[in-house]
């Protein structure tokens, strides 16, 4: 006699993860951005901080093509690379 039958009365409803997983780029829509980012990483000893602009462009491509949920770039750690962040940084320098 299996006890699994007793517990099988409830149906399991899977839900997608909140963050960290998103559809693969099966059609290579952002491949050029990914390659640019990976080249930058290789050229800079895999120091991701030196490739933030390429990372930002890759994530923007994924968001534009609905390969990941749209998030404000500031929330993704790119406040200093956005127009608003750059303007604020430029104003501070003057």
pLDDT at residue 94 tops 50: no
Residue 48 lies in a domain: yes
Asked if the structure places residue 10 within a domain, the reply is no
pLDDT at residue 27 greater than cutoff 70: yes
12 located within any domain:
no
pTM exceeds 0.85, yes or no: no
Tokens, residue 89? 């940084």
Nearest in space to 27 (alpha carbons), one of 54, 67, 69: 67
* pLDDT tens digits along 32-76: 999 999 999 999 999 999 999 999 999 999 999 999 889 999 999
Among candidate residues 37, 34, 27, 39, the one with its CA nearest the CA of residue 65: 27
Domain tally for the chain? 1
Q: Which domain holds residue 49?
A: 25-74
60 assigned to some structural domain: yes
Q: Are 63 and 33 in contact (CB under 8 A)?
A: no
Measured CA to CA, the distance from residue 33 to residue 54 in angstroms comes to: 7
């Amino acid at each position: 006699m299996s006890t699994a039958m007793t517990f099988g009365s409830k149906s399991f409803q899977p839900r997608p993860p909140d963050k960290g997983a998103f559809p693969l780029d099966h059609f290579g829509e952002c491949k050029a951005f990914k390659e640019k980012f990976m080249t930058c990483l290789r050229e800079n000893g895999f120091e991701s901080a030196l490739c933030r602009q390429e990372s930002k462009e890759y994530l923007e491509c994924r968001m534009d093509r609905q390969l990941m949920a749209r998030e404000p770039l500031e929330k993704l750690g790119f406040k200093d690379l956005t127009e608003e962040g750059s303007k604020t940084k430029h104003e501070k320098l003057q």
